[in-house]
Structure 1
């Protein structure tokens, strides 16, 4: 390859790198603590954050346990609440004995009246596990400190109360 072709290839590579950096600066805004995606032509982009995550972006804290662990707890009486976060009609069709019902959709910005103690141990379940995770995160955001999410009643092989 002659010298002029090498210069052209190196020049094109340099232009490509510069164009990529300028494009990235247009679509990604970074500051000291985070990176935020502004937009992208090809859909969602994965971004790994380095440094401290701002507090408003942190995941609310709750503990996920297995159905077996929950069953072991429920085998003995204790000072805990079993919370079914399905809709009322689903709850009435059958639920874990002793459970109370507060639908996931009803958990909002205010503490549910059925759950007056922020330090109460609460075991949360739904039908399949999706709503229980959402409800657990919402409860944690409201200040509840002892939340244990254990999935869905579809995986429950114990007694069902109607």
Structure 2
């Protein structure tokens, strides 16, 4: 049994590093953290709502990729580099979680989900 302990501990540690339980691995951040990243580094701001929602108001610089259309081809058009820093939002935070998980499963490595525009305290544009 003593010889098996290191193996069991290693397996437990590896199991604990599985990432987000929603599927792919992405990070959830606050809107304040997202705004700070927008202001200080090169990021792709991804709006995963529908076209009419985007047209009614979006975060400046955001690109539209509706959650239902995310596949390898569509994602590659908007996010050509898999290691790009991508900030994902929707209306309330549900679709952005789904989209972030899907992007992570497609191999994108720097995905940050920050909720919905309905609580975004900063500038928007139409």
TM range (shorter): 0.7 to 0.9
Larger RCO, structure (CA 8 Å, separation 6 or more): 2
Quote the residue 1:72 is aligned against: 36
Quote the residue 2:55 is aligned against: 92
Bigger radius of gyration among the two:
1
Provide the TM-score with structure 1 as the length reference.
Answer: 0.61
Using the alignment, how far apart are the partners of 1:75 and 1:132 within structure 2? 21
Aligned residues: CA RMSD: 2.0
Structure 2 contact 90–96 (Cα < 8 Å) conserved = yes
State the 1:114 CA deviation.
1.3
1:96 to 1:108, Cα distance in 2 relative to 1, 3 A:
same
Q: How does 1:114-133 map to 2 (within 5 A)?
A: 114-133=78-97
- How big is each residue's C-alpha offset from its partner over 1:79-102, in whole Å with a ceiling of 9 and x where there is no partner? 210000000110011000111000
Structure 1 contact 110–142 (Cα < 8 Å) conserved = no
Provide the TM-score with structure 2 as the length reference.
Answer: 0.78
Quote the residue 1:147 is aligned against: 111
- 1:75 is paired with a residue whose SS is helix
Runs of 4+ in 1 over 3 A off after TM superposition: none
- 1:160 equivalent to 2:107? Answer no
State the 1:109 CA deviation.
4.9
5+ residue gaps, structure 1, are 1-50
State the 1:154 CA deviation.
0.6
Corresponding pairs, count: 107
